[in-house]
Structure 1
Amino acid sequence: PSRFPIKNDHYSYLKNGLKVAPVVAKPVQNQQISVVSKQNTIKVENEKLLTDVSIFPNPMTDKLNMTYNVKRNTNVSIKIMDVLGNEVVTLMSQRVEAGEQKNSFQLSNRLSPGFYFVRVIAGTEPFIKRISIL
């Protein structure tokens, strides 16, 4: 006989039609059970590398201002893309130090009036924001 018999007097049905029987465990008596545990710690970094991105003014005419934070030293590229995703202007592509960053870019005569996207990539982490040029 099994140590953990399944009691078959009640079934449940799931939405997909599967029949499920509840499992009833019967405790094992008069036996010693030893549990050996080894604990490993794995550090997972989910923390965003790029935070607090602010692009202003929006709409803009001739100047784009940006502030953002990076958690550690990393490569950052800032590009302006058209509505089809084509790169129109590369504003910056360089390594930056960890901490708050402030940038201003002159856009005079570089973009026609319309809608664009500013794409910021810090390391491999992207951030995209729509902007309007008047």
Structure 2
Amino acid sequence: MTIKEIQHEIVDEFSMFDDWMQRYEYMIELGKSLPLIEDKYKTEDNIIKGCQSKVWVHAEMKDDKLVFSADSDAIITKGIIAILIRAFSNHTPAEIIDADTQFIDEIGLKEHLSPTRANGLVSMIKQLKLYAIAYQTQLN
């Protein structure tokens, strides 16, 4: 599946819920299915700056695709990073760099987060893209 197709799938899933309490519960469930980061990667270097809670993200190349793992000490934040990893993991760095994040607006995520969580969301997206840029640079 392309990043765009995965994003459409996520938008469709969120549209099944009538209210934001159900969407938050769904995000918490998604967080529980997150590919967890190994403890050895839970370092200062892997913490996303700009998040209120602690979020660790690790990236590595496997078969020319970038694979992310993550964890957070907050359940909603864990759900947010799980959504982003689902959309961007297992794609090439170039695909991740070129991908837009319009789907975040389509599910209404930013407007239903506190300002600090919304800033954290932006920081998470930025960090995933920075990993992609770093790996893309290594490939060239």
TM-score if structure 1 supplies the norm length? 0.29
Query: Which has a greater percent of strand?
Result: 1
Specify the structure having the higher radius of gyration (Cα). Answer: 1
Tell me: higher relative CO, structure 1 or 2? Use CA pairs within 8 A at least 6 residues apart: 2
Query: Which has a greater percent of helix?
Result: 2
TM-score if structure 2 supplies the norm length? 0.28
